[in-house]
Amino acid sequence: MQWYEIELLTENSTADALNDMLGNGSYTLIGRTIARVSPWTIEEIAALGREVTETTIRLIMPAHCMDDLRKATHIRFFAHRDYSNAMKILPPIRDDGPRWVTATAKAVRT
C-alpha cells in the first residue's frame, strides 16, 4: 500500500458556488494529511454490492488529523491518477485506536 497526500476540504455555500461560470461547487482547504486506500474484501463486495464498492473508497489516516477530518465535508487527492475530483466523506469516521482513523469517501458526480 502507498501513502497519498490528501486535502481536507469543506464545501462553500451554494451562493458562492453559483459564482463559478460552470456552476461547479467550490471548496475551502482545511488541511492536508496522508492516507492509504484500503481495498474492499470479497465478503464486503458481496454484502454491499458492486455498485457501492465501485464508487466508494475506504481511507486509513493517522489519528492526528481527526479534528480537521471532522470539520471536512470532502477530500481530494493531491496527486493521484484515479482520484482527481473531490470526494464526499461519508459518516461514520471511526477512531481506530491511538494511531489510526478510518473513513469512507464517495465519488462526487459533476
Q: What structural domains does the chain harbor?
A: 4-107 (2.40.10.270)
Q: Of the candidates 93, 101, 104, 6, which has an alpha carbon nearest to the alpha carbon of residue 63?
A: 101
Q: Is the pTM of this model over 0.85?
A: no
Amino acid making up residue 12: N
| pLDDT tens-digit map of 37-62 | 888 888 888 887 777 777 788 889 99
In the chain, which stretches have pLDDT less than 70? 1, 13-25, 79-84, 108-110
Cell of 54: 465501485
Give φ, ψ of 74 to 5 degrees.
-140, 160
